[in-house]
A and B are shown apart, each in its own frame.
Chain A
C-alpha cells in the first residue's frame, strides 16, 4: 500500500546559550513584535531621500529567498506544489500570517492573505489607512516566486492590489515576471 503524506515544513530549532542565539534551520532568527514591524515600515515610508518601501521589500526578498531556496536545495524539493506548500508554511511559522498562493506560473502569479501580521499590527497600533503597507510581504512573494521557478532575487515585480489595512477582507498580491 502506498503511503500518502502532505509536504510538511521541517523546523530544526536550536538555542546556543554561549552566543544567546536561536537558529531556525541553521539561520539566526529573532523574535520581535508588531510595534517593531510597524515602526520599521513607517520608517521605510517616511524616507524622503530614497525609495524606502522598495528597500524594505528588497531586504525581505533577500532574507526569505535565502531561507526558501536554501531549504528547497537542502531537502531536494523540486515539485512546484511542494515548494508552494512549504513557502506558505514558513510564512505562517514566522507569524507573518495566512498565505495562499492562488496561482503561480512562469510569468505571473496571485497570492492572497486571509490574515497578515503587518496589517493586523498596523491596525492595532494606528488603525486603518488608505494605502497598502505590506512591503515585507511583497518581498516575501518575490522571494517565493524566484525560488519556485529557480530564479534569482529581483526576477519578479510584486504589487499589493487589495489590502487588509485599507479595510479589504483579504490582501491580494500580483506577481509579474520582470
Chain B
C-alpha cells in the first residue's frame, strides 16, 4: 500500500477551519460546521433511550443514515478537493483501494475517529477498526449494552459507496446506500476497539 497515513494525518490535521465573514464554512461542496462532539452524542443518546423499544432500531437507522449521506457527499468533496490532490493523490497507485485507505486517514485527521481498514475485499467488503472515536464518549464508566457508533457506521458505508457504488450522484438517487455497515465491537461496550463490517446492501 502506497498510502502514508502518518503523513496524511500530519498534513491534513493542520487545516484550520473557521467561519467566513458570514459565519459560514463553505468547503468541499458543502456547508461545514465545527461543533462540540458532545452535542451530536447527546442528541443521539437521549433520542435512542427516550423512544420505546419498538422504535429504537428505526431511530438508530436514521442516525446512521444521517452520517451515510454526510459521508457520501462530504467524502466526495474531500476526495476531489485541492487538499486531497496535493497530499493524498500523489500516493495513490491502485484506485479505488488506495483512495479508501486515504479516506480513512483523512477521517483521523479530521477528528472523526482513529480508524483504519484492516481487511479489504475489493468491491465486496471492508473491515474497519477504530481505536478511538468520539461516539464512545457516551460511556464514562462501565459498558453500554449495545454499540452506538452511528456516525462511523454511516461514514464507513458511504466511503464504500464512493469506491464501488458507481459514479458519484449529487442527488443521492444512485450510488448512495449500495453498501451498509454493521458495528460488531465497540469501545463503549468494553471492547478494546470498535469494529465495523461493510458489505453490499
Contact = CB atoms under 8 A, between A and B. Distances in A.
B51 A96 contact: no
Interface string B1-25: 0000000011001101111011111
A15 to B, nearest CB: 4
Contacts of A22: 13, 34, 110-111
A169 interface: no
B43 A55 contact: yes
A31 to B, nearest CB: 5
B74 to A, nearest CB: 4
Given A19-B114, A117-B24, A120-B24, A31 B33 contact: yes
Given A21-B132, A95-B34, A97-B22, A31 B111 contact: yes
A108 B112 CA distance: 38
Contacts of A17: 9-10, 13, 108
B142 interface: no
A96 B39 contact: no
A80 B47 CA distance: 35
A67 interface: yes
A50 to B, nearest CB: 5
B167 interface: no
Interface string A122-144: 00100000000000000000000
B33 A95 contact: yes
B176 to A, nearest CB: 11
B90 interface: no
Contacts, number: 188
Interface stretch (A57-65, A71-79, A151-159): A57-65
Interface stretch (B59-67, B92-100, B117-125, B190-198): B59-67
A33 B33 contact: yes
A115 interface: yes
A35 B51 contact: no
A118 to B, nearest CB: 9
Interface string A1-44: 00000000001010101111110100111111111110110011
A169 to B, nearest CB: 14
Interface residues of A, number: 54
A115 B22 CA distance: 6
B51 A47 contact: yes
B33 A50 contact: no
Interface range, B side:
35 or more
A39 B38 contact: no
A37 to B, nearest CB: 6
A117 B33 contact: yes
Contact of B37 (A11, A29, A91, A121): A29
Given A17-B10, A21-B132, A40-B66, A30 B37 contact: yes
Contacts of B19: 92-97
Nearest to A34: B31
B174 interface: no
Contact of A37 (B13, B33, B134): B33
Interface of A: 11, 13, 15, 17-22, 24, 27-37, 39-40, 43-44, 46-47, 49-50, 52, 55-56, 59-60, 62-64, 66-67, 91-99, 114-115, 117, 120-121, 124
19 contacts: A11-B18, A20-B9, A20-B111, A21-B134, A28-B134, A28-B137, A31-B111, A33-B32, A33-B73, A34-B30, A35-B74, A36-B70, A44-B43, A59-B39, A95-B19, A95-B23, A97-B22, A117-B24, A121-B30
5 closest A-B pairs by beta carbon, nearest first, are: A92-B23, A20-B114, A39-B66, A95-B25, A63-B39
